Structure 1
């Protein structure tokens, strides 16, 4: 049976945040950003809320109609960009606030946790510039539904658009399983991983548009 996908609206915010929180709470990068289960339970959803709000304002969110999977996307221009996000996923601000946004995210989510700010800066630094592309900021599948092909189905419409319009796509894989999925969809590791101090690695991946 096919997966029905729709564009999320503001009214879907709580659903999106909850789904991202559940999907990423045990992810290696989330564990690094929020060490300790109690700490993660208290703060992780707040960071997912920031990501959701930025994407609703500046990008677009695709949602499986049954609430089982969600993908956060940004269309990136061909001009150099500024940004801040976290956990390998970037938000975007103006030139004047480039240096402040990661600190603002940290202040809003977890003021005593420097890792929230650090990872925002590091993922911004490795994000490719100079060529328009589509950025998959995050994709989450409900824990009980993983392995059913929902992630692939959710990405398909945007990747088909990339192929039609000649647009590359970019993402950062946060675990080996997701990296393998993206490779099957045509993404290629750029060659330089982001190795978090005393933590996991993240793999920047690029996909050229594919013909036919």
Structure 2
């Protein structure tokens, strides 16, 4: 039996924030950004809300019909297709975005800004692609294939349209899921200073697949 998937709207904002907050409470990167457990419980949801608002405005959020899992996607143009029409600029926009993110989420926490800068700087810019920013599954429903179904839902479109896909896995355990979906390691890891490692992964579109 397949997993029902729909596009989220503004009415789903609180659902998505809650799913991400619960799913990422014990994530290594979230633990680095908010190292004190009690503070993380009371503050982490603000970061998830900021991410949700960005993707609701600029990308697409898919949710399972039963509301137990969600995936956040952005369509990324190649650098020379961007509004500056050139080499992607000097990173100033990304830096300003990182500052605004910190100020809106946790103004005294420099790590909010730092993680945003690191991820922006490591993002591939030479080819247009679909970017899986985050995927969250309710803890009680993890291991049931919901995450795989959400990702494959977009990868099928990527294959039809000839688009690659990109993500940063935040744990070695999660890389196994993405490998099964056709992602492979990029040529480097993203090593957070005095913190965990992230694994950028890339997937080329699959061509010649039989489709209904």
- Identify whether the pair has TM-score above 0.5, normalized to the shorter chain: yes
The answer for the alignment partner of 1:47 in structure 2 is: 47
* Secondary structure of the structure 1 residue equivalent to 2:62: strand
Residues 1:166 and 2:162 aligned together: yes
- Could you tell me how far apart the structure 1 residues matched to 2:161 and 2:110 are? 40
- Could you tell me how far apart the structure 2 residues matched to 1:174 and 1:157 are? 21
- Could you tell me how far apart the structure 2 residues matched to 1:152 and 1:48 are? 21
Aligned length: 200
Once the two structures are TM-superposed, the CA of residue 54 in structure 1 deviates from its matched residue by 0.5
- The answer to whether the Cα contact below 8 Å between 2:135 and 2:147 also exists between their aligned partners in 1 is yes
Residues 1:67 and 2:78 aligned together: no
Once the two structures are TM-superposed, the CA of residue 96 in structure 1 deviates from its matched residue by 6.2
The answer for the alignment partner of 1:135 in structure 2 is: 131
* Secondary structure of the structure 1 residue equivalent to 2:95: coil
The answer for the alignment partner of 2:22 in structure 1 is: 22
The answer for the alignment partner of 1:187 in structure 2 is: 183
- Could you tell me how far apart the structure 1 residues matched to 2:114 and 2:184 are? 25
The answer for the alignment partner of 2:87 in structure 1 is: none
Once the two structures are TM-superposed, the CA of residue 156 in structure 1 deviates from its matched residue by 1.4
- The answer to whether the Cα contact below 8 Å between 2:132 and 2:167 also exists between their aligned partners in 1 is yes
The answer for the alignment partner of 1:79 in structure 2 is: 79
Moved >2 Å (runs of 4+) = 79-82, 95-99
* Secondary structure of the structure 1 residue equivalent to 2:67: coil
Cα RMSD between the aligned structures?
Answer: 1.4
The answer for the alignment partner of 2:172 in structure 1 is: 176
In the alignment, structure 2 segments of 5+ residues that lack a partner are 84-90
Once the two structures are superposed, residues 99-149 of structure 1 have per-residue CA deviations (whole angstroms, 9 ceiling, x without a partner) of 211011111111111110001001101100021100000001111111111
- Could you tell me how far apart the structure 1 residues matched to 2:34 and 2:151 are? 28
